[in-house]
Amino acid sequence: MTGRVLPFRGRPLSSEAGIRAAERVLSTPIDERVSKAKALHLEDPETLLALCGLIRERMSASPASAKLEAEFLYRFIESPRREIGLFDERDYFLGETALLTGMACRCLSEREEAWIWFDRAEAGFRHTMNAPAEMSRLSYQRLAERLEERQFDLVLELLPSLVESFQKLGMPEDALKCRFLEGLAMFERDDPSAAIRVFNAIRDEADAMGSQTLLADAYVNLVHAHGMLGEAEAAIEASRRAIPILRELDNRISLAKVHWGLATLLREEGRIAEAVDSYRSAQEDFDAIGMRADIAALNLVVADLLLEEGKSVEALREISEALPVIAELKMAPEGMAALSLVRESVRRQEVNRQALRELHGYFQELQN
Amino acid sequence: MTLDVIHSALISYYRLNEEEARGAEEDLSVWFQRLARRGGAGHMPPKLLRISLLSAACQYGRSFQLWKLGGEQSADNSLNELLAREPDEVAGDLDRRFEGERS
């Protein structure tokens, strides 16, 4: 028989003091934090809990800094080994900070790293008291990553089991969130009408449960899907609903995606110059939050548009800008094949449009 | 009612004395307040929170009693049998008892 008691050392901070301590930590340069750990109450679970909350809130406004902060916390707790709080709290914070880092990597399209962080999150969550709930949250992130890697069949196969887990655990908001993956898989399989039905259902349910985050994301996806079908009125209405909520939530990732969706609509309407301007605007948004993969993906979309206009020199310039970023990312075989063809066509100064479309299809940013 | 179940589990099952049980309950209370805020506000449903709390109480009681026994067996066989069981399993029994008393 084995057993351990983790005694509580000293008086814990109150939750309000934890929030203040967390804000002090974030305003302290990272390289000064370890030496000031005691004064910053960095080992206090209240501080860590507040830090995780702040990082989660900032994820959609600045994934690059969220990654930096969450990774710092993981490494601080992990080595040298620090005993944090009571019972399972060390394991929980290792799991949560790894999950946050993985989520940020996913936003930044750093796929190999995301998988490593999800494995680390599992190693932490496995030892927590409420492991089924934490592991289910992790499973959602893993499925979202698989969706971005275009493994649609696998996502659709595994999704019902995850929805069932969330329902059994009494987590309806998380269960609803899973439906985005279903809608996005349909969208990516060139069935925007089916996707619209799913996103409308999510919108209604999110509205009924009062979840502003899910409601806004439903509208963002509706902008894209209606835009793809050239349904201007519906796309514009969805964007009109999404933007105020996204501004209030400071969700800059989704705001950029709204611009992207509107650009798609303009393109479908044949308003090419305006579409290019709108894609540029989305690129600026992505640039401000460090989402390089999305900028590169939009370079490819713009290149395709320019080719449509017979501007092959400008198109080649767009592709050349995107290639170094794309090459830096680890991609699945079909992405690599398309990349090779595009590279070859750049070398020959004659673009293989089918390969270009496959490549930017591969890179099509997936919401949520 | 959960607090009563926890108190009686620590005292009657794991044989902690009143002072030890009070100390345990203070720690559990602090931990539980944070547990409820994990993964974003309002994330965990009440039933899951209750099971986690009961499980933590059992782990605490078991660890504490094992530490007191210093690796020796207790003269009380029913205590030895309880300590040989997984805390989560005991917590499951307590939860069923809790549900039974509520209905």
Query: What is the extent of the structural domain holding B27?
Result: 2-102
Return the amino acid letter for A234: A
CB A172 within 8 A of CB A157: no
As a whole number of angstroms, the distance between CA A216 and CA A9 comes to 43
* Count of structural domains within chain B: 1
Residues of chain B with pLDDT > 90: what percent? 68
* Count of structural domains within chain A: 3
Average pLDDT along chain A: 89
Looking at the fold, whether A58 and A110 belong to one and the same domain comes out as yes
Q: Is the ipTM of this complex over 0.90?
A: no
Residue A196 falls within a domain, yes or no? no
Looking at the fold, whether A280 and A299 belong to one and the same domain comes out as no
Q: State whether A133 and B48 contact (CB < 8 Å).
A: yes
Domain boundary among A97, A129, A161: A129
Picking from B47, B59, B83, the nearest residue to A170 by CB comes out as B47
As a whole number of angstroms, the distance between CA A245 and CA A216 comes to 6
Query: What is the extent of the structural domain holding A327?
Result: 291-368
Looking at the fold, whether A303 and A274 belong to one and the same domain comes out as no
Domain boundary among A250, A285, A320: A285
Residue A201 falls within a domain, yes or no? no
Residue A3 falls within a domain, yes or no? no
Q: Which of B26, B35, B68 to probe by mutation at the A interface, max A CB count within 10 Å?
A: B35
Q: What pLDDT sits at residue B87?
A: 92
**Res. A109: pLDDT tops 50:** yes
B48 vs A: CB within 8 A: yes
Residue A175 falls within a domain, yes or no? no
Predicted structure pTM score: 0.86
The lowest-confidence range among A7-16, A133-142, A230-239 is: A7-16
Q: If pLDDT is split at 50, 70 and 90, which confidence band does A10 have?
A: low
As a whole number of angstroms, the distance between CA A118 and CA A122 comes to 6
- pLDDT tens per residue, range B20-61: 999 999 999 999 999 999 986 456 788 888 989 999 999 999
**Res. A2: pLDDT tops 70:** no
**Res. A167: pLDDT tops 90:** yes
Residue A186 falls within a domain, yes or no? no
Residue A334 falls within a domain, yes or no? yes
**Res. A308: pLDDT tops 60:** yes
CB A326 within 8 A of CB A296: yes
As a whole number of angstroms, the distance between CA A251 and CA A75 comes to 27
Domain boundary among A84, A108, A129: A129
Q: If pLDDT is split at 50, 70 and 90, which confidence band does A93 have?
A: very high
User: For chain B, percent helix, then strand, then coil, each to nearest 5?
Assistant: 75, 0, 25
Residue A182 falls within a domain, yes or no? no
Looking at the fold, whether A35 and A115 belong to one and the same domain comes out as yes
* CATH number for the domain harbouring residue A112: 1.25.40
As a whole number of angstroms, the distance between CA B14 and CA B62 comes to 6
Looking at the fold, whether A93 and A107 belong to one and the same domain comes out as yes
Q: If pLDDT is split at 50, 70 and 90, which confidence band does A7 have?
A: very low
- Which residues on B lie below 8 Å from A130 (Cβ)? 35, 38, 44, 48-49, 51-52
Task: Calculate mean pLDDT across residues A220-243.
Answer: 96
